Amino acid sequence: MGLELDASGIHVAEYLTLPPPKDVLQAKLDEAIAPSPAGLDNRGGAEA
């Protein structure tokens, strides 16, 4: 459950005092940098 601070618009989902285990961190990083199929389909027609 996240916290919402109304006036500032800040949303806090989780606060970690210690880093997660290496395998959990690696999985989250891999997920964050993986290209999304929707994003690849909507590139605006510009090809590299």
Each residue of 1-48: pLDDT tens digit?
445 555 667 777 777 788 889 999 999 899 888 877 766 666 665 555
Query: Rounded to whole angstroms, how far apart are CA atoms 18 and 12?
Result: 17
Domain boundaries in the chain?
18-42
| Residues sharing a CB contact under 8 Å with residue 10, sequence separation 6 or more, in sequence order | 4
Classify 41 as helix, strand or coil: helix
Q: What's the pLDDT score for residue 22?
A: 95
Q: What pTM, to 2 d.p., does this model score?
A: 0.41
Q: Which phi and psi angles does 31 have, rounded to 5°? A: -65, -40
